[in-house]
Chain A
Amino acid sequence: MSKHLTKVSQIDQELAKQYEEQLHGQQTPASLFNLVLFTSSIERASYFQHLLRKVVEKFPCRLIFLKEDKNLKELSVDVSLELTSHAACDVIEFNCPSSDVQKIPYLILPYLKPDLPIFLLWGQEPSHDNPTFKQLASFAHKILFDSLCVGDISHFANHVLDMLEKQIPLRDMNWSSITGWREVIARTFDTPEKLASIRNAERLTIQFNSKAEFGPCHADIQAIYIKAWLISKLKWGPEVKIILEPKEVQHLESGEIIQFELDSADKCNYIITRKEKSNLALIHITTPEVCEIPQTYPLTHVQRSFRFWREILYETPSHDYVEMLKILK
């Protein structure tokens, strides 16, 4: 139950009141970290709200949501508790008019829980020239990016590589979203014969969900990442034809991979399909000699699972990610 406040100074009082009213001994107030999210896109605000609820289910935290809205005249705050089966988490949403955007870093400072890590989810194109980003990033222990929101992928890749070179801790949510796919692909081609087959690929088609529920976005980003990852690992050249095929699927989130299909020079065909309404991949392999029995494998990081958030929050970018970005640069 959210309470709309017009005075920032009322936040603590309102939180205390909500704890008293809503907790009946089943949940414990719990915070592992502070998660600060910034967006200036009102269409994407709902998407982020939905995303943040998924974090809280797995990792209780204090959520501070900063929304810059050019249509607003006055600053206001919404305060609520997010209750899971075991924990109660504070959610503070600042609705900030563009004219007050310089206040943003100062707004949140009193409301960061002390002694806990601060993660900043920057919900748009990162830019060194953006003073809000600079200030928020300066006290974040880790920056999370959702590259679905970026405009120019090459510019984004350059920017992130630059930050990695400066050893700024960060994590790309869409790279983590495809961890399950990378694992399935790695396991599918985990014999010398199959490795040889993929090295001699002729054609790869990656189908992705082009649904744009919350405004324009780079729905092909995960597909682009898989493409660039394979190129970096297998040293493919222009002889491999790679097609990124959009398809709208309502029950999946924007950008999610639907199917991976590879044809190789040795006339083998590999199809890995996301099973409908499930977190499983169906692997179908056909060689000139045999049509293998389809196998099912879990896609571990889709639908923002526990393992997905664990990776985002606690792991560092891998060498594979860096090499992939260099392909995109």
Chain B
Amino acid sequence: MTINPLIDPSRQDKQASPCILVIFGATGDLTNRKLVPALYNLTKDGLLPRQFACVGFARRPKNDEQFREEMKAGIDKFSRTKPDPDIWNTFKEQLFYHQAQFDDDAGYTSLKKRLAELDKQLGTKGNRIFYLSTPPSDFPLIVEKLDKNGLIYKQGEPPFSRVIIEKPFGHDLRSAEELQKELRAHLHENQIYRIDHYLGKETVQNLLVFRFTNPIFETLWNNHHVDHVQITVAEEIGIGTRGKFWEEAGMLRDIVQNHMMQLVSLVAMEPPIQMTADSIRGEKVKVVEAIRPFPLKSLDQAIVRGQYGPGFINGESVIGYRQEQNVNPESYVETYVALKLFIDNWRWAGVPFYLRAGKRLPKRATEIAITFKKAPGFLFQGQHIAQNTLVIRIQPDEGISLKMNCKVPGQSTLIQPVKMDFRYGAYFGSTPPEAYERLICDCMAGDSTLFARDDEVLASWRLFSPVLDVWSKTKPLDFPNYPSGSWGPADKLMQGHSWRVI
């Protein structure tokens, strides 16, 4: 293959390869709100090659022009940057629509022909990315059809073919294993890109930079110095119109098993030997595999589940989960999970990790708080000495703060905790790229660092599948057990510690 001498290989920005991105389920919400606006912004930033096309594949009848108009409306509404008519006029010529059924071979044959024509027209070199923005139950069918109709190539020499799938990757261990088996029948693991959009967030990526470029913190990052870790994913919104989805999923499946496990593994992992996808993901999976299994016979000592009732958010009264649209009025699905876990390895032995995730909590906040061990108190007797706490704020008000103790000016020695605070917004004011922009670009460049690997996903399911099994057999008779606007029902988990007030 001819290498273009005019491309500078030393540029820090990733070089996305020419390709065609086929989005299955292109008439869905995700395409309109996230995927196409992400592609548009990548185009605007000059990060998409000229030799690029996006083909929406879906059941509904429409033509290219209609699809383009719908995508324009999505960009106008959801793009993080102001839409530019000149950019749009070029970008829209790269958008196409292919109407077909997921289960119809004829649709794939015609797709293959169309893609070949686009290759000739646009110079996309035969490279393919298939984004499955569909219910997970459709993944095996689509992949099988793609393979059967020659749209997936063998891993190895160019051109490449890759498949991006969205969570949930199964709804328990057995289904996750089954899904993996079905995908692997047609794809090499290196062709599978499992999106967890948390990994596309700047602040989550910053975890690796922060940990491994600041030795001052890395030397304290262990059970000699850390008292406990709290990770919070709080939302003030309820489930909205997603009642049908939520009744099948619940908080453990939707947030804890995937996003929170990513945060835990990034916080707790060992430094990788190199900054490559497999090195980093290898260290992450070791964390999950070292997590002590939850005690199934006394599960409520380790995991608390909750469901929001009526209450108040921002001064307005709100309904409870069971009153939401498409929710069973006697539902036992959890909207809140708090858990205490232990990582049984040399670095973290004995350090509790407290995780909580919930809907209809007082505010939206995702953060990781590392609380360090108490100072010996004999020097300043009678004084309250706050424990140093390093907080990494993932969203909103992205940044990092460190709480430390200082003397209050005056004759006597009084101690006051103060905060050193770095805020992203104050320093890097420009709007950072959206997670999907980073992730799609990485997939086009063949970098799987920010995508979940099969063993990570399965290790996480091994941990939580037994919990789901117990829960399915035991009804939480106290549901709903926290009013909307409160911090949830998990105080009893915190022996000797207390949940942070955020």
> Interface residues, chain A, CB within 8 Å of chain B?
27-28, 30, 32, 57-60, 84-87, 180, 182-192, 195, 198, 230, 233-234, 275, 278, 280, 283, 293, 295-300, 306-307, 311, 314-315, 318-320
Contacts and interface: CB of A to CB of B under 8 A. Distances in A.
Interface in B1-28: 2, 4-8, 10-12, 18
- The 7 A-B pairs with the shortest beta carbon distances in the complex, nearest first, are A186-B6, A28-B426, A296-B90, A300-B46, A86-B429, A318-B10, A298-B46
Contacts of B11: 315, 318
B423 interface: yes
Interface in B409-424: 423
Nearest to A315: B12
B46 A183 contact: yes
B243 interface: no
Contacts of A32: 427
Given A183-B46, A188-B50, A293-B93, A280 B7 contact: no
B4 A189 contact: yes
A2 B107 CA distance: 68
Interface in B72-104: 84, 86-87, 89-90, 93
B425 interface: yes
B49 interface: yes
Given A32-B427, A60-B427, A86-B425, A320 B50 contact: no
**Among B5, B45, B49, B87, residue most surrounded by chain A Cβ atoms (within 10 Å):** B5
Interface of B: 2, 4-8, 10-12, 18, 43-46, 49-51, 84, 86-87, 89-90, 93, 123, 423, 425-430
Per DSSP, chain A at the interface is mixed
Contacts of A306: 430
Contacts of A191: 51, 123
Contacts of B423: 28
A319 B10 contact: yes
A30 B427 contact: yes
Contact of B87 (A57, A182, A185, A280): A280
Given A28-B426, A60-B426, A307-B45, A187 B10 contact: no
Contacts of A230: 6
**Among A230, A278, A293, A298, residue most surrounded by chain B Cβ atoms (within 10 Å):** A298
A59 B429 CA distance: 8
B385 to A, nearest CB: 27
6 contacts: A28-B423, A28-B426, A190-B4, A192-B2, A297-B50, A314-B12
Given A28-B423, A296-B90, A307-B45, A58 B429 contact: yes
B86 A280 contact: yes
A189 B11 CA distance: 18
B49 A187 contact: yes
Contacts of B123: 190-191
B6 A185 contact: yes
B3 to A, nearest CB: 9
Contact of B427 (A87, A188, A233, A320): A87
Given A191-B51, A195-B2, A298-B46, 9 more contacts: A180-B46, A182-B6, A189-B4, A234-B5, A293-B93, A295-B90, A296-B87, A300-B45, A320-B8
A187 B429 contact: no
Contacts of B12: 311, 314-315
B46 A186 contact: no
Contact of B4 (A27, A195, A318): A195
A186 B429 contact: no
**Among A30, A182, A230, residue most surrounded by chain B Cβ atoms (within 10 Å):** A30
Contacts of A314: 12
A323 B140 CA distance: 51
A27 B423 CA distance: 12
A117 to B, nearest CB: 13
A30 B90 contact: no
B339 to A, nearest CB: 36
A297 B46 contact: yes
Given A278-B86, A296-B87, A297-B50, A189 B429 contact: no
A32 B43 CA distance: 29
Nearest to A295: B90
Nearest to B18: A190
A241 to B, nearest CB: 20
B171 to A, nearest CB: 42
Nearest to B5: A233
A183 to B, nearest CB: 6
Nearest to A297: B50
A88 to B, nearest CB: 9
A204 to B, nearest CB: 13
A293 B90 CA distance: 10
A307 B84 CA distance: 18
Contacts of B427: 30, 32, 59-60, 87
A275 B430 CA distance: 24
Nearest to A88: B426
B4 A320 contact: no
Contacts of A280: 84, 86-87
A243 B427 CA distance: 43
**Among A299, A314, A318, residue most surrounded by chain B Cβ atoms (within 10 Å):** A318
B251 to A, nearest CB: 34
